Amino acid sequence: MNPSPEEIRIGLIGFGTVGQGVGQYLQERADALTRAAGRRLVLGGVAVRDLSRRRTVDLPPGLLTADPWKLVRDPGLPLLCELAGGTEDPRAWTAEALRLGKTVVTANKALLCDHGEELFALAHEHGGRILFEASVAGGIPVIEVLRDSLAANRVERILGILNGTSNYILTRMEQDGLSFGEVLESARANGFVEADESLDLDGWDAAHKTVLLAWLTQGRWVSTGSMTVEGIRRVRLDDLRYAREMGYRIKLIGAVERVGTAGRLALSVRPSLVPLDTLLADVDGVFNAVRIDADLAGPLDLIGRGAGQDPTASAVLADLVAAARQWESSTPLPVHLAPPDPPELAAPAEQEHAAYLRLTVVDRSGVLSEVAGSLSRAGISIASVLQREHGGHDRATLVLLTHRCTQAALDEAVRALAADESVGDDFLVCPILD
């Protein structure tokens, strides 16, 4: 590989929505990108699944191939851009490219979440790099901010609205007075929901991004299996209304927090009550937001488009430019100030917050005291209770706010309530963020 090339040739795997955006702007904005990168960024090959498919972006002839491995192994393509999606094939391509000392730019959060530890170790071993700005919050340059701009800081907490589809659904429910199911139908019709709906609706996409933010700032890979991950399926229109009456909005929040006196690490994705007077509460529709509490810079809020062709292509192009600028540097990326001894994971008994509980209960005498008893036995103190008529026969809705309690106590109370025939499974539990 020429150590100081005039141009850097890119192998692009995946030419879907984002890939075509990257291809388009690499051509249309070639001069500006050359000025930014200090050398030309040239598309040297594009791997697609189906060669015969019509595409909106014209490429120079001969660039397309159906064989990604051709690009991975071509020594004339030292920069690999992986935008194919999935995890197992991208893992193999990325690992091989890194073994060959290549730089890899990826938007693939699931890949990094599942195999990041192995892939970053490979990059380190072989002098390659992985850049992943597009994998978290699309057009918001949060990785660069955390990795570079806040390099001198300790990051105490990150709260993120990291899944645009969930935020769109919650916003439309609230603004248009619609149920979760009604908005989901229209989100599907508009193509806003991932083919694997669970990624959006059950919190997994936000969890992948949360894991990456935790690794970047705290130096520990946390498996999604050891964090609380809950999506928005349980949130009802009434919850959004009750929350607002009490001075909050409900947002799906990915949280990275240092908790307790030992500063242990807690990760979660949950519908959460966010105070109305915070910027996070004002982030609507498909927008994403990341709140960073940094010890030197102080609190920082980043808001922008977390998905879509242009915002995501913008992030990928930023990485391609960054890679080209630093081509001769031997400093491994990412460099971050994560402590050499990463924090231990916090146990549920170490995580504390006030909580919102909405229960749908049988409307008969004694039920309120049963609910209060379950909370009290778990050591939870109730701050306020609201009872509302429920649309269904013989049912009532109870909304309780608790004082600060541990996650362990809350888990215990929820288990008891779910097993109580008067309560059943129709409930929502949310932390209240301060």
Where in the sequence numbering do the catalytic residues fall? 209
Least CB distance from residue 109 to ligand HSE, whole Å?
Answer: 7
Sign of CA dihedral 307, 236, 232, 411: positive
* Structure-block tokens of residue 407: 């996650």
Contact residues for ligand HSE (CB under 6 A)?
A: 138, 163-165, 194, 200, 205, 306-307
Least CB distance from residue 217 to ligand HSE, whole Å?
Answer: 19
CB nearer to ligand HSE: pick between 200 and 202: 200
* Structure-block tokens of residue 282: 């004002």
Least CB distance from residue 34 to ligand HSE, whole Å?
Answer: 29
* CA dist 379 → 26, 273, 283, 297 (Å): 59, 22, 35, 38
* Spatial separation of the C-alpha atoms in residues 110 and 94, rounded to whole Å: 13
* Spatial separation of the C-alpha atoms in residues 160 and 143, rounded to whole Å: 13
CB nearer to ligand HSE: pick between 306 and 343: 306
Query: What does the CA dihedral 310, 217, 274, 354 come to, rounded to 10 degrees?
Result: 160
CA of residue 243 relative to chain centroid, distance: 24
Least CB distance from residue 25 to ligand HSE, whole Å?
Answer: 19
DSSP strand pairing (40-47 vs 264-275): unpaired
CA of residue 206 relative to chain centroid, distance: 3
Least CB distance from residue 288 to ligand HSE, whole Å?
Answer: 7
CB nearer to ligand HSE: pick between 82 and 200: 200
CB nearer to ligand HSE: pick between 165 and 360: 165
CB nearer to ligand HSE: pick between 201 and 410: 201
Full DSSP string of 179-237: -HHHHHHHHHHTT-S-SSHHHHHSSHHHHHHHHHHHHHHH-----GGGSEE--STT--H
- In the chain the first and final C-alpha atoms are separated, in Å, by 52
Least CB distance from residue 208 to ligand HSE, whole Å?
Answer: 8
- Decide: residue 19, CB within 10 A, 0-12 exposed, 13-18 middle, 19+ buried: buried
Least CB distance from residue 170 to ligand HSE, whole Å?
Answer: 12
Residue with tokens 């488009």: 305
CB nearer to ligand HSE: pick between 208 and 258: 208
Residue with tokens 């050891």: 226
- The answer to whether 429 touches 410, Cβ cutoff 8 Å, is yes
CB nearer to ligand HSE: pick between 43 and 269: 269
- The answer to whether 63 touches 43, Cβ cutoff 8 Å, is yes
- The answer to whether 156 touches 258, Cβ cutoff 8 Å, is yes
